[in-house]
A = this chain, B = another copy of it.
């Protein structure tokens, strides 16, 4: 195991650190698991990653991860196309679907704006949202960002973006515990927060 010219083992440890919150020590433990304890699992992970990189793209409509042009929710003619719920992450969609309180469509920002990082807008797909809305039948926009500093900042950015637009804009009710993230909230609380969503402008 020369440290100058990295061998396959060291190279794997280096590459594993692309994962969030994984440093050298954790990567070492992961490499050990993959190569020593569970080679079958590692081979399956290899296949899954290969398949995901090849097949997973973004739904042209809602921006969620998707293997087709349009995801099954956006393709469903029974969904109410006049109401659009904007969420931060892919995981928020199944969480909301489980709550069975929103029969409109979604838009997934794929990130959030961070007030501690100069409100950098590159971390959310705003241009895709604008393109999604242009010429669409959307009347109501439900901002379903988390009730964290980042979620609040993201909601603020969205409100600014739609300031001059005729949409009815609301945000999830603060029936949700402060500091909580959407994907972790139980279905009942989530449903309540949707029913009591608060109007943010006067239209």
Contact = CB atoms under 8 A, between A and B. Distances in A.
Interface of A: 1-3, 7-9, 11-12, 14-16, 18-20, 25, 28-39, 41-56, 64-67, 71-72, 89-91, 93-94, 110-111, 183
Nearest to A48: B15
Copies of this chain held together in the complex: 2
Contacts of A39: 53
B71 A45 contact: no
A38 B22 CA distance: 14
A46 B48 contact: no
Nearest to A36: B110
A52 B8 contact: yes
Given A8-B51, A39-B53, A51-B8, A15 B45 contact: yes
